[in-house]
């Protein structure tokens, strides 16, 4: 071995002595001075980094596609919110009245609220889909109720108008089929829409009074106080009194400013005032007649 090592040229780099294999020829030529002995490892590292980058890019592309699909689906979240709160309300009411009546009751609430939504959109106001609150009803969100008191009255009365039609449909089905379930739904539907016509904020009757006679808000508020002790579910009346009293105080303080803006908001022509009053009183009469026609003397089992 020593003799063969002495045959190596003396001008070869020292590290090549360790790489010399005299018994077997080298499988690959020794690297040239311009090449790095770690070239293969660096090439492998570049390939691995490239593969990892490609994987990250693929994941990012899939994430981007998923994010885009989510953004496209965002407008439907309102519907999901409506459906979700409706299901919760049905489950809550079913604990008291059973599933059949609970479903019908929530549908009647939905029909009533959609009357407000349709009219708000006709007034050029963007409104949310109805959201249900168990044992309190349903609500919608909107930035305003219209440009003036007349528009507010139209929005307020649109709910009882469409809600009354929903209750009337239940009455027709109940009379034709003899179903006490539908008759009970009709009775409750007529009652709820009639209750909403009490001339007090934030009820629909209070919205109508904005165009007819705003001073009637105080009459409605005073009439609701004894109902608080007579109504079986007094907490609902208490909530209405609290919110209604707060809104009444705020709006009446604004009216007292007598600004041009306030005067313009409550300026309603006599003809329009009569039209609102006609619809308001007509609804009260028709709903009372509907309650009498749909009355059932026994409860649904």
Q: Which of 10, 249, 88, 247 is nearest to 152 (CA)?
A: 247
The SS3 of residue 137 is: strand
Name the residue ranges covered by the structural domains of the chain.
Answer: 85-294
The gap from C-alpha 72 to its chain's centroid, in whole angstroms, comes to 16
Per-residue pLDDT at 58 = 52
| Tally of CB atoms within 10 A around 156 | 29
Per-residue pLDDT at 79 = 58
| Tally of CB atoms within 10 A around 300 | 14
Per-residue pLDDT at 235 = 75
pLDDT grade, residue 127 (50/70/90)? confident
Tokens representing 190 are 């007529």
Give percent of the chain with pLDDT exceeding 90: 47
Cβ–Cβ < 8 Å for 138, 130: yes
For residues 275-299, average pLDDT: 90
**Alpha carbon distance 146, 76 (integer Å):** 25
**pLDDT digit string (tens) for 39-65?**
555 555 555 555 544 554 454 454 445
| Predicted confidence (pLDDT) at residue 182 exceeds the cutoff of 70 | yes
Q: What is the pTM of this model?
A: 0.70
| Predicted confidence (pLDDT) at residue 84 exceeds the cutoff of 60 | yes
| Predicted confidence (pLDDT) at residue 143 exceeds the cutoff of 90 | no
pLDDT grade, residue 240 (50/70/90)? confident
Helices (runs of H) and strands (runs of E) counted in the chain: 12, 2
Higher pLDDT residue, 280 or 24?
280
Higher pLDDT residue, 101 or 229?
101
Higher pLDDT residue, 225 or 189?
189
For residues 74-94, average pLDDT: 77
| Tally of CB atoms within 10 A around 178 | 9
């Amino acid at each position: 071995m020593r003799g063969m090592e002495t045959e190596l040229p003396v001008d070869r780099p020292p590290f090549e002595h360790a790489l010399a294999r005299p018994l077997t020829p080298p499988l690959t030529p020794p690297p040239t001075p311009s090449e790095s002995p770690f070239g293969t490892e660096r090439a492998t590292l570049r390939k691995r980094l490239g593969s990892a980058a490609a994987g990250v890019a693929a994941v990012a592309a899939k994430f981007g596609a998923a994010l885009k699909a989510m953004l496209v689906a965002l407008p439907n979240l309102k519907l999901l919110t409506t459906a979700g709160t409706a299901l919760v309300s049905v489950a809550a009411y079913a604990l008291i009245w059973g599933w059949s009546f609970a479903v019908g009751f929530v549908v009647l609430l939905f029909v009533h609220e959609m009357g407000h939504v349709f009219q708000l959109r006709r007034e050029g106001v963007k409104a949310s889909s109805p959201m249900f609150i168990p044992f309190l009803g349903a609500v919608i969100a909107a930035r305003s109720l219209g440009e003036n008191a007349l528009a507010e009255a139209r929005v307020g009365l649109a709910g009882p108008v469409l809600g009354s039609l929903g209750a009337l449909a239940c009455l027709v089905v109940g009379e034709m089929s003899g179903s006490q379930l539908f008759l009970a739904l009709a009775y409750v539907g007529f009652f709820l829409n009639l209750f909403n016509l009490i001339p007090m904020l934030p009820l629909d009757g209070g919205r109508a009074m904005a165009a007819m006679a705003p001073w009637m808000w105080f009459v409605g508020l005073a009439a609701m106080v004894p109902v608080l002790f007579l109504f079986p579910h007094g907490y609902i009346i208490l909530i209405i009194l609290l919110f209604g009293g707060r809104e009444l105080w705020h709006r009446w303080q604004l009216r007292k400013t007598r600004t041009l803006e306030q005067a313009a908001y409550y300026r309603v022509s006599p003809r329009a005032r009569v039209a609102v009053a006609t619809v308001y009183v007509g609804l009260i009469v028709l709903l009372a007649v509907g309650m009498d026609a749909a009355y059932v003397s026994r409860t649904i089992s």
